[in-house]
Chains A and B, each alone.
Chain A
Amino acid sequence: MSSREVVLRRVRQALGRDGAPDADDVVRGEAAVAAAAAYSRSGDLGPEARADLFAERAGEYRVTIRRVAAAAVTEAITAELTDRGARAVAAPADLPEAWRVPGVRWETDGRDGVLLGTETLDGCDAVVTGCALAIAETGTIVFDAGALQGRRLLTLLPDLHVCVVAQEQIVQTVPEAVAASLAAARKGAPITWVSGPSATSDIELERVEGVHGPRTLVVLLVG
Chain B
Amino acid sequence: MRDERLMRLALFIPCYVDTLFPQAGQATVQVLRRLGHELHYPAEQTCCGQMHVNTGYQREAIPLVRNFVRAFGAYDRVVAPSASCVGEVREIYPRLARLARDPALVEAVDALVPRVHELTSFLVEELGVEDVGAYFPHRVTFHPTCHSQRVLHIGDSPQRLLGRVRGIELVPLPDAQECCGFGGTFSVKNADTSSAMLASKVARVLETGAEVCAAADNSCLMHIGGALHRQRTGVRTLHVAEILASTEARPWRQA
Let me know if chains A and B touch directly in the complex, using CB atoms closer than 8 Å.
Answer: no
